[in-house]
Structure 1
């Protein structure tokens, strides 16, 4: 068995783990060991998976990497009752950078009210005024420094390049129904429609690995182990003292002199806690796992954004990504990217972001739409792959931002190699179903505005025959799926039933923290990567303050 030791042992080199590895090793006082089950995200270092690692760097490569087993855990949910008993695919990054290395790179913080809600739920120190400095600290904002944004931080945030004219027409159509253009959805007000901002730098993906690990990886006090699959947190006399893991197939153990920090995300962190004897006593006993610390809410409180899509065939002559992604158009785009790092290959999943309310009486938006000038062939025609339609296309993908439905994630057995069971429970709450139907209708209303309708040939998905709330909801149940924003399974709170306290310390166990999306008490109003990086920046300061005390 191989043995390692460090002041801090971090499990998981995803967004949070990369931030912590950088910040905890920054002052040179502490040694840090970072364990990552996957491999390197760079093709020069990852020759066995050269193609996957190369696609990570090219922004549009997310369409291939998200479900690539070489760099993704490829979780699949249990059959979901409210969505026709379907299983939902959950790509999660299994590579340096974690999901920030395979996601669509969209930079969204959520609303200030989200964090005020956290504070009101007992998460003292997590209100908007508390977290804004950490968003700014992490950011190198292309638009410059302001009250809301920072420059010179590790993470590059840039504007969408090379947006197509049809996207501008969509903005005009939204304005026709009272949804104004907004310059910055990460500013004072999220409501409106705007060009997306993304985590890219010079036409390349700027993941947490690129932003935080690259500057730190040569420090003598930071060691990064790839192919390190955590099996169990080692506990002694009520405190965490290390981690047992496999290293490229062999047994290994790491001793933590100060703390063990779990950064596995909303699925892996609660799973590892349960494998280590921290969780519901009844559930652990049924799995044959000795109970070290009873914590009945480990793995509970799973929340996620649920999305459906409306697609439109545009009239001939309308420019869309479909033409760019095929034949001579694709050849031209490849050459353009090779020369200038611009064009199709430097795109994310969504050129436009739209935030609005499903009901007028709401104070803040509860609907988000990802909008992009592209459509895909049905899986039956494309062999299950993402293949662009032959004709010009436009897709609206609405989701409900603040779902009331709750799911859970739990270990299936005491075997660390067996992935946990994920039960999302989408659309279990009536409010979620109502909001989804309202979002569908809103997307149709935008598409029906004369400025946009004049360029639409027809609605292809689900098609104009789907009318009435019942039929719309049936379509959403049959076709909707996750936006890949799972959170909440190690809930932070001021109450004893929460899994971690506001300093992200696991209740009932000393020297053990969780720092990732699983600690969010409630899902934020938007994409989750920027908030996770903020959480880790703030956690680093708390950890260092405790060490100095």
Structure 2
């Protein structure tokens, strides 16, 4: 099949059903099979194919952007090479119709070409050095990551001015809040020029947008990979499990998800081939569980299931690792203010009935209000809190125009880097993953940091003349408000999940926390790797996309530097 790029006219069903158009897996083998086309998978697949290796990238969902023949779009984009995923003003539509979410993750995830980087708000800035220096092991510190950071930002420069005409639109809320932050002593920075200035600072939000359209890995790493003859991409092809004998993986079992998806077993090159899981914090954990890798109690659930029990690898070849035991997410706390200067733009209405002048400006010039990322983000601010346990915790404040009135702004407090609370995910008998322990404010110092951070921000925003408080109310204490929001996924989820297959030198088979080693290779195997947010030991300061791109470049180098695994070598679980 030429190149293996598959097309779909509507949102794919993700049930694993058999479709008439499904294609049986062929007998071709690959040096590398990469599972998942998100932030990690696209980048690592490009770097491996650049090195001359044959690479197959597998995505369970349909195409997304117009560049790769996606077709999901409103009627006013008919006749253009644009889809809902290309237009910044349509980014928020995912909250209206849920497409293309994954039905088996327990949280919202992007099951579409590009994964999260196709459906998120495209926020993008260089990680704070602490994201590496506090969280990551030796060899993955900020100095080790510097050249990969430079490489990523040379390919995806990012911008805080998404409109092609160089103008910023819908700045009323930004102007109002930034004046208050100035009065409170905050410093304005250009986010990607000042990665270390993330305390008492604010910025226009930066995005991986170029010329008014979504950019990022889809329009850089994937484009260069796809141009190579040694690269193939299959969409609508859901990986059920990796096929292995002991610690040696021979391929992956795929199920067709519609369109022209594939079914059957796809093999890696005998003796030297490798499989890389990049299916996200939940998807990668599920694949490991279904492949006999994880805590014994969870593997027994898979063994006892009607779907996997008869085909699961035998118990004597299970690899007992703490998969799913170190998950983390930003603690999300929404507050709302109102100000008469705030202007609410109807981005949801733009789906079916956009303002004519704005539609024309976008289609003809890639300028105007529809280049604004819905729902009109900014400013972004950063603070730090000295915790009661002596640890510094980073907070990112993400402001957007939406709320209970047309003059409301919602401001999310993302309590992140430095938090010590962790959660856990597992798998159910229907093979759906779920959060069994939420990672929010389980530690008293984390909760106090959220309270102290909120109290400080309330003081800063009070300097804005004419501001009124919606939540918390003016009479409600910060402590009472933080305590009133349940520490559950439903109330606190930021959807920045990390940590289900943590990287480290402390082998999880012998009591450590790590699932993968410093080369991102799964302990107990010789040719199975993980390259996505799963390997992050802790959450980042802010949105983790850039950090994942950088980590994927680093991981590709580590993987390529390894000697080829011995054919048929077996690792004792």
Give the TM-score category using the shorter length.
0.7 to 0.9
Is contact 2:126–2:195 with CA below 8 Å preserved after alignment?
A: no
Which deviates the most, 486-495 or 239-248?
Answer: 239-248
2:63 is the counterpart of 1:40: yes
| Aligned-residue offset at 1:212 | 1.3
CA shift in 2, pair 1:157/1:364, >3 Å? farther
Number of equivalent positions = 498
1:130 aligned counterpart, secondary structure: helix
Taking structure 1 as the reference length, what is the TM-score of the superposition? Answer: 0.83
2:532 aligned residue: 516
1:13 aligned residue: 37
What is the CA–CA distance in structure 2 between the aligned matches of 1:467 and 1:105, rounded to whole Å? Answer: 34
Which deviates the most, 249-258 or 536-545?
Answer: 249-258
2:510 is the counterpart of 1:487: no
Is contact 2:63–2:70 with CA below 8 Å preserved after alignment?
A: no
2:264 is the counterpart of 1:252: yes
1:231 aligned counterpart, secondary structure: strand
Alignment of structure 1 residues 19-58 onto 2, 5 Å: 19-27=43-51, 29-43=52-66, 46=69, 49-51=72-74, 54-58=83-87
2:432 aligned residue: 419
Is contact 1:66–1:91 with CA below 8 Å preserved after alignment?
A: no
What is the CA–CA distance in structure 1 between the aligned matches of 2:382 and 2:478, rounded to whole Å? Answer: 24
1:357 aligned residue: 384
1:537 aligned residue: 553
Is contact 2:393–2:415 with CA below 8 Å preserved after alignment?
A: no
Is contact 2:241–2:291 with CA below 8 Å preserved after alignment?
A: yes
2:242 is the counterpart of 1:233: yes
1:60 aligned residue: 89
CA shift in 2, pair 1:60/1:503, >3 Å? same
CA shift in 2, pair 1:248/1:473, >3 Å? closer
CA RMSD of aligned residues (A): 2.8
Is contact 2:387–2:448 with CA below 8 Å preserved after alignment?
A: no
CA shift in 2, pair 1:347/1:124, >3 Å? same
Taking structure 2 as the reference length, what is the TM-score of the superposition? Answer: 0.80
CA shift in 2, pair 1:272/1:474, >3 Å? same
| 2:398 equivalent among 360, 367, 370 | 370
CA shift in 2, pair 1:340/1:363, >3 Å? farther
| 1:164 equivalent among 162, 171, 177 | 171
**Structure 1, residues 430-454: CA drift from partner, whole Å, max 9, x if none?**
22222222232233222210xx223
1:496 aligned residue: 507
| 2:448 equivalent among 434, 456, 462 | 434
1:274 aligned residue: 289
What is the CA–CA distance in structure 2 between the aligned matches of 1:345 and 1:58, rounded to whole Å? Answer: 7
What is the CA–CA distance in structure 2 between the aligned matches of 1:436 and 1:75, rounded to whole Å? Answer: 31
What is the CA–CA distance in structure 2 between the aligned matches of 1:224 and 1:99, rounded to whole Å? Answer: 17
CA shift in 2, pair 1:68/1:225, >3 Å? farther
**Structure 1, residues 487-526: CA drift from partner, whole Å, max 9, x if none?**
0000000111210001000000110000000001111111
Note the residue ranges of structure 2 that are not aligned, 5 or more in a row.
1-23, 162-167, 304-311, 509-513, 566-573
| 1:72 equivalent among 101, 118, 125 | 101
CA shift in 2, pair 1:261/1:329, >3 Å? closer
Is contact 1:302–1:487 with CA below 8 Å preserved after alignment?
A: yes
**Structure 1, residues 81-105: CA drift from partner, whole Å, max 9, x if none?**
xxxxxxxxx3211111110000111
Is contact 2:393–2:449 with CA below 8 Å preserved after alignment?
A: no
What is the CA–CA distance in structure 2 between the aligned matches of 1:44 and 1:18, rounded to whole Å? Answer: 15
1:148 aligned residue: none
Alignment of structure 1 residues 244-323 onto 2, 5 Å: 244-248=253-257, 251-257=263-269, 258-288=273-303, 289=312, 290-291=314-315, 292-315=317-340, 318-322=341-345
CA shift in 2, pair 1:156/1:214, >3 Å? same
| Aligned-residue offset at 1:319 | 4.4
1:55 aligned counterpart, secondary structure: coil
Alignment of structure 1 residues 398-413 onto 2, 5 Å: 398-402=413-417, 403-413=419-429
